[in-house]
Amino acid sequence: MNRIQNIKRASWIGVIGNTILAVLKIFTGAVTGSFAVIGDGIDSTTDILTSFLTLWVTKIIDKPPDEEHPYGHGRAETIATGILAFIIFYAGIQLIITSIQRIFSGEVSQIPSAPAIYVTIFSIIVKIFLAWYKHSTGKREKSSMLIADAKNMRNDVFLSSSVLIGLIFTYVFNLPILDKIVALFLGVWIIKVAIEIFYEENHELMEGVEDTSVYNQIFHAVGIVEGAYNPHKARIRKIGAYLIIDLDIEVDGQMTVTASHEIARQVEKSIKEHVEHVYDVLIHVEPLGNVEEDEKYGVCSKRHK
């Protein structure tokens, strides 16, 4: 099964699992009078939307490169993850506003009954499975969308656990206000998750590389090629799950174009063998000892040890 199929399968499992949880929690919360459980159900509803978003994006990233998108369509995955962050953020804001209104409304609330506790325990179990499954699939397939969604599921475990604690205290101490306070806390936590996801994906949109050790892998791959010297001005662009690597190398200035081209070809081959998920390698060849004072960007092997 290829990468796209694995992402689609994980997304459909997320849709089915979260649909069951959303319906169950919203219905149970309404019947038992637990606003915290309803809030948890709203969060599960946003998880359905994010899973459908993932399914839609897989159709885009699976398209081959064209004249308008010569690097392919993999960046759609990064953009979709940013949209996912905004959806989660909006849900958190709405939950906070509603919670504050209910806290200060002065309305008399009923004490949530035991079924709300049972549904929350069931939610925690399902969310643990979804978080594990999506994270393992996301790591294996290098999918930022699934990893972000897995983090959302993992945080949902914490959220549902907070709801459970709130329900127990509400039930034991006969204080319905605790349920509303927990719902308010859920909203704040949801916003925190959204901001973290957006920050991570914005790093990629800014052409950032989180794991800079990949530069050492590149320089090692160049170093084992005979005739290739001083790899420098190395840059990495991340497109979805894949890397586009651009760097300069130096060769003997007396070499023919054919000979220096062969060395560059061997460098490209070596990089693809030693670095995972490389989409393309662009190599600029310079004569040995060449110095350009205006080189203001890229990573040099002499500075990156």
Residue 150: give its domain's CATH number: 1.20.1510.10
121 and 194, same domain (yes or no): yes
Task: Say what percent of the chain tops pLDDT 90.
Answer: 15
Local confidence band at 266 (pLDDT 50, 70, 90 cut-offs): very high
284, HSE (Cβ side, Cα atoms, 13 Å): 10
Burial label, 292 (beta-carbon count in 10 A; 0-12, 13-18, 19+): exposed
Identify the domain boundary among 179, 205, 231. 205
Region 149-175 average pLDDT: 73
60 and 177, same domain (yes or no): yes
195 and 220, same domain (yes or no): no
Q: Which domain holds residue 219?
A: 213-287
33 and 54, same domain (yes or no): yes
* pLDDT at residue 46 greater than cutoff 50: yes
* pLDDT at residue 205 greater than cutoff 50: yes
* pLDDT at residue 303 greater than cutoff 60: no
Of 119, 154, 122, 151, the residue nearest 38 (C-alpha): 119
Region 46-70 average pLDDT: 78
> What CATH number did the domain enclosing 220 receive?
3.30.70.1350
Identify the domain boundary among 162, 183, 205. 205
* pLDDT at residue 157 greater than cutoff 90: no
CB-based contacts of 293, cutoff 8 Å, min separation 6: none
The answer as to whether 278 is a domain residue is yes
- Confirm if 105 and 35 have CB atoms less than 8 A apart: no
66 and 185, same domain (yes or no): yes
The answer as to whether 20 is a domain residue is yes
- Average pLDDT taken over every residue of the chain: 79
118 and 156, same domain (yes or no): yes
The answer as to whether 300 is a domain residue is no
Region 251-257 average pLDDT: 90
Identify the domain boundary among 160, 185, 205. 205
The answer as to whether 58 is a domain residue is yes
How far apart (Å, rounded) are the C-alpha atoms in residues 177 and 203? 40
Of 114, 97, 4, 133, the residue nearest 59 (C-alpha): 4
Task: Say what percent of the chain tops pLDDT 70.
Answer: 83
Scan for tokens 């656990």, then name that residue. 161
pTM of the model: 0.61
134 and 279, same domain (yes or no): no
The answer as to whether 297 is a domain residue is no
- Confirm if 77 and 225 have CB atoms less than 8 A apart: no
In this structure, the strands spanning 242-251 and 229-239 are: antiparallel
196 and 249, same domain (yes or no): no
* Count of structural domains within the chain: 2
Local confidence band at 292 (pLDDT 50, 70, 90 cut-offs): low
> What pLDDT, on a 0 to 100 scale, did the predictor assign at position 176?
63
233 and 185, same domain (yes or no): no
> What pLDDT, on a 0 to 100 scale, did the predictor assign at position 301?
62
Beta-ladder partners of 249? 285
- What are 4-35's pLDDT values in tens digits? 788 888 888 888 988 998 898 888 888 877 77
Beta-ladder partners of 117? none
> What pLDDT, on a 0 to 100 scale, did the predictor assign at position 285?
92
93 and 233, same domain (yes or no): no
Q: Quote the radius of gyration of the chain (alpha carbons, Å).
A: 25
CB-based contacts of 216, cutoff 8 Å, min separation 6: 304
The answer as to whether 69 is a domain residue is yes
What is the CA angle 196-201-204, rounded to 5? 140
Region 94-111 average pLDDT: 67
76 and 218, same domain (yes or no): no
76 and 165, same domain (yes or no): yes
- What are 225-250's pLDDT values in tens digits? 999 998 988 888 877 667 889 999 99
> What pLDDT, on a 0 to 100 scale, did the predictor assign at position 264?
93
**For 277, phi and psi rounded to 5 degrees?**
55, 45
- With both helix axes pointing from N to C terminus, report the angle between 3-32 and 35-61 in degrees, rounded to the nearest 10: 160
Count other C-beta atoms under 10 Å from residue 151's C-beta: 18
The answer as to whether 298 is a domain residue is no
The answer as to whether 303 is a domain residue is no
- With both helix axes pointing from N to C terminus, report the angle between 114-141 and 35-61 in degrees, rounded to the nearest 10: 20
